[in-house]
């Protein structure tokens, strides 16, 4: 006799095909898939343009090196040194680009190794494995999953990223996070050094051409002028961006944390009962003008994760192996640690408490 089909089945499919927390909020798996749009060819156009801009100066560079250092100065040693330095820096540029594009910036969700289902109790108790998910910033209401410290949800990628710094359209429209941020800074440093080096050697060759117009052919100074201009422009543009990230590393901030002062609201202690009778955490949309100004002023002083510039740099570019610095020089690599927990500035709790007291005072004066 055939076994009757049960009217209600408590068997759940694998987490990849079913999200019990999303279903409890009325979200289907098809809606979850829509939050993570597939990348098309358009997303790779800026990356192709980046590669083209990196390779564009090299024909003029070779013409300048051959005509000036080999034919005019008759110096094979200088020619070999300049060739070695420029192509070593070019190799560093592309190696860090490959790491940023090919590596996941920082997966938040832990993947299930097996394809088997999980029972109802395990599915309903997923959130209980994490502490204080009701606190602001501890749970992502778009991924419907716990969100570790300093992780953020990228609306373009449709996912949360560990220690997300920013979303970069130039690197195949991918986020820069915990596992790719050192490679990104390595990329900025390599491009700046390459552009600056090309500007210096091209500028010196161009100066020689002006002082000795009959010693070199007529087309080489045009290449030298193009290389000098491009080198100066890229050095200023990318170099300014590099200096900004050097400041962020020295103060242990991400781009999002530096540009978003209201992220401090996630870390404030309980504010108690306000004048309207509720004790919910402050929301940016419900803050008064005075409270907003107080948060912005406090943001200039509170560095939650600043533990000294040496330890800050060690968190990004530290290594555990004996010759780990070679890997850092080659492509930058990934961040040190698990990307989920970070040491706090010992003075941050006191400063946050003072900010919370000031916000309560301003709330009562409204």
Q: Which residues are marked as active site?
A: 168
- The rounded distance, in Å, linking the Cα atoms of 336 and 317 is 7
* C-alpha atoms less than 13 angstroms from C-alpha of 59 in its C-beta half-sphere: 4
Helix or strand run (H / E) with residue 139: strand 139-140
Q: What is the largest CA-CA distance in the chain?
A: 103
HEC string of 63-98 equals HHHHHHHHHHCCCHHHHHHHHHHHHHHHHHHHHHHH
Task: Give the contacts of 75 (CB within 8 A, at least 6 positions apart).
Answer: 69
Among candidate residues 211, 230, 229, 209, the one with its CA nearest the CA of residue 220 = 209
Dihedral of the CA atoms 220, 222, 227, 228 (nearest 10)?
110
Task: Give the contacts of 8 (CB within 8 A, at least 6 positions apart).
Answer: none
Instruction: Identify the bridge partners of residue 160 per DSSP, sorted by sequence position.
Output: 153
């Amino acid at each position: 006799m055939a076994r009757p089909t049960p009217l209600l089945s408590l068997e759940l499919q694998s987490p990849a095909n079913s999200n019990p927390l999303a279903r409890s909020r009325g979200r289907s798996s098809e809606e979850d898939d829509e939050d993570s749009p597939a990348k098309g060819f358009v997303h790779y156009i800026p990356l192709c343009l980046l590669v083209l801009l990196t390779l564009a100066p090299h024909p003029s560079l070779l013409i300048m090196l051959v005509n000036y250092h080999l034919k005019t100065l008759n110096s094979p040693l200088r020619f070999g040194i300049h060739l070695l330095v420029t192509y070593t820096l070019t190799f560093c540029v592309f190696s860090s680009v490959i790491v940023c594009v090919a590596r996941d910036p920082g997966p938040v969700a832990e993947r299930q190794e097996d394809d088997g289902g999980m029972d109802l109790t395990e599915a309903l108790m997923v959130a209980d494995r994490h502490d204080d998910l009701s606190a602001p910033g501890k749970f992502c209401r778009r991924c419907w999953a716990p969100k570790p410290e300093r992780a953020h949800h990228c609306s373009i990628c449709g996912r949360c990223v560990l220690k997300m710094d920013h979303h970069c359209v130039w690197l195949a429209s991918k986020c820069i996070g915990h596992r790719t941020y050192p490679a990104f800074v390595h990329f900025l440093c390599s491009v700046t050094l390459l552009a600056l080096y090309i500007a210096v050697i091209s500028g010196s060759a161009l100066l020689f051409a002006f002082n000795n117009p009959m010693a070199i052919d007529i087309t080489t100074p045009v290449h030298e002028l193009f290389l000098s201009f491009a080198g100066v422009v890229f050095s200023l543009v990318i170099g300014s961006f590099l200096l900004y990230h050097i400041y962020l590393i020295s103060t242990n901030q991400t781009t999002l944390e530096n540009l978003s002062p209201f992220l401090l609201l996630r870390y404030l202690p309980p504010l108690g009962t306000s004048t309207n009778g509720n004790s919910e955490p402050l929301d940016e949309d419900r803050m008064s003008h005075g409270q907003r100004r107080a948060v912005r002023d406090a943001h200039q002083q509170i560095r939650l994760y600043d533990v000294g510039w040496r330890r800050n740099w060690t968190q990004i570019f530290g290594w555990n192996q004996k010759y780990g610095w070679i890997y850092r020089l080659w492509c930058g690599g990934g961040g040190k640690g698990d990307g989920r927990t970070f040491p706090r500035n010992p003075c941050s709790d006191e400063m946050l408490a003072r900010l919370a007291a000031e916000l309560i005072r301003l709330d009562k004066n409204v």
